[in-house]
Amino acid sequence: MREQLKQKETGLIKMEFRGISRRSFLKFCAATAALLGLESSYGSIFAAAAEEAIKKKPVIWLQGQGCTGCSASLLSSLNPGPAEILLDMISMRFNTTVMNGTGHVSVQVLEETFKEGNYLLAIEGSIPTEDSRYCIVEGMGFKELVLKAAKNAEAVVAVGTCATYGGIPRAGLTGAVGVSEIISDKPVVNIAGCPMNPSWLMGTLLYYLSFQELPALDKTGRPLAYYGNHNIHETCPRVSYYENGQFLVDWNDPATSNWCLLLAGCKGPVTYADCNRNWWNDGVSNCIRSGAPCAGCVQPQFYKDFSPLYAPLFTPVTGDKGGEKPAPAPAEPAAQTGGLDAKSVLLGVGIAAAPLVANKVANSLKNKKGEVKRG
């Protein structure tokens, strides 16, 4: 392994010319390993696998009914930054937001990549089902294009809540649905969020390209390590105020600005994502820390069933002593683990999976070098 890592030095050093230091990249890989419940030493393994695999993996990124917010979120990531993601870590063959080519040149690249096959297909935005004219991309209905693109794809990544569950467009008239509602013969991973946190996408890509399989998913198709294991309410810095029955009701009252945001519309009790440990904008903050209630944007119920966003999810009961007492958080089914193998379950739980994953990584990297033949 040491020799293998040494061979990757050249590539990692090359990244410094793109504005990202080797140290920053390794730090990102170590952080990703930690978020996936692995020891930080696995960061080096991820870095090696990324150098070997990610550069060679073509990605097609199609955009349907959405606001491009998830592309903006990805392009706002700092470590790694957009240039490193697009030029060094993946081979982005088609993305209407960032690509230089237009017209028949870009369509030709798209068609050639379709023929080559074995690419990753990323879908941003929802898919209209009522009438194809609601969303025409490259001269065809978006649903038709997605089905065509999925045919030779290795796996499909639904990026953002519009693509995963229909999102805000689902509340409209276009019959908007998520990717997994029209693609059933390919592995689909849902990176939900409005927008998604870029580290969720990059971590999932690193995992896939290291292990050649998707990470363990929760019952709604999201990586368990980033979503299903983390209830926003249980990890919230304001939870003690919830337990004391102290709820913000007046946005203009500075004395209550740190109190629980339940009555301001917080959907934290029924929302599952690691926002409270994996802060946004390169670790700057997150919604609740910034004073905004959780909108539940990673859940399938968003937006239609969670609106109005600033209406309380439920009302705390009044206690015998006259003061407001919080109602217990509504029961939410635990993260789905049924149907997963033992390795996947352990990975979602955390560090206990390290030895098993270590073997998997080692075999994966050996296979790439041809040291061990695949069975």
Taking CA atoms, 34 is separated from 1, 30, 119, 167, 277, in Å, by 20, 6, 27, 29, 11
Binding residue count for ligand SF4, defined by CB under 6 A: 14
**Residues 167, 182: Cα–Cα separation, whole Å:** 15
Please tell me which residue in 29, 135, 230, 275 is annotated as part of the active site. 275
Among 195, 269, 296, 300, binds ligand SF4 (CB under 6 A): 269
Quick check: 273 binds ligand SF4 (CB under 6 A)? no
**Residues 168, 249: Cα–Cα separation, whole Å:** 26
Among 162, 232, 273, 346, binds ligand SF4 (CB under 6 A): 232
Quick check: 183 binds ligand SF4 (CB under 6 A)? no
275 is catalytic: yes
Task: DSSP letter for 260, please.
Answer: B
Among 20, 89, 155, 294, binds ligand SF4 (CB under 6 A): 294
Quick check: 298 binds ligand SF4 (CB under 6 A)? no
Please, which residue, 179 or 260, has the CB nearer to ligand SF4?
A: 260
Asked if 336 contacts 222 with a C-beta cutoff of 8 angstroms, the reply is no
Among the residue ranges 23-31, 192-200, 233-241, 332-340, the one whose residues contact ligand SF4 (CB under 6 A): 233-241
Quick check: 200 binds ligand SF4 (CB under 6 A)? no
**Residues 21, 118: Cα–Cα separation, whole Å:** 30
Output the smallest distance, CB 284 to ligand SF4, in A.
19
Give me the torsion for CA of 259, 263, 265, 266, rounded to 10°: 40
Among 162, 261, 335, 365, binds ligand SF4 (CB under 6 A): 261
Asked if 88 contacts 53 with a C-beta cutoff of 8 angstroms, the reply is no
Q: Which of residues 132-171 bind ligand SF4 (CB under 6 A)?
A: none
Output the smallest distance, CB 306 to ligand SF4, in A.
13
Q: What sections of the chain are H helices per DSSP? A: 2-15, 22-35, 42-53, 69-75, 82-83, 103-116, 142-151, 161-165, 198-211, 239-243, 280-283, 342-349, 354-369
Quick check: 270 binds ligand SF4 (CB under 6 A)? no
Per the listing, tokens 């490259």 go with: 138
Instruction: Using CB atoms within 10 Å of the CB of residue 360, give its burial: 0 to 12 exposed, 13 to 18 middle, 19+ buried.
Output: middle
Task: DSSP letter for 222, please.
Answer: S
Among 46, 142, 233, 287, binds ligand SF4 (CB under 6 A): 233
Among the residue ranges 76-84, 171-179, 255-263, 353-361, the one whose residues contact ligand SF4 (CB under 6 A): 255-263
Asked if 104 contacts 44 with a C-beta cutoff of 8 angstroms, the reply is no
Quick check: 230 binds ligand SF4 (CB under 6 A)? no
Among 135, 239, 275, 353, binds ligand SF4 (CB under 6 A): 239
* CA 266 distance to own-chain centroid: 21
Provide the annotated active-site residues: 67, 70, 162, 194, 233, 236, 260, 266, 275, 287, 294, 297
Q: Which residues bind ligand SF4 (CB under 6 A)?
A: 232-233, 236, 238-239, 242, 260-262, 266, 268-269, 288, 294
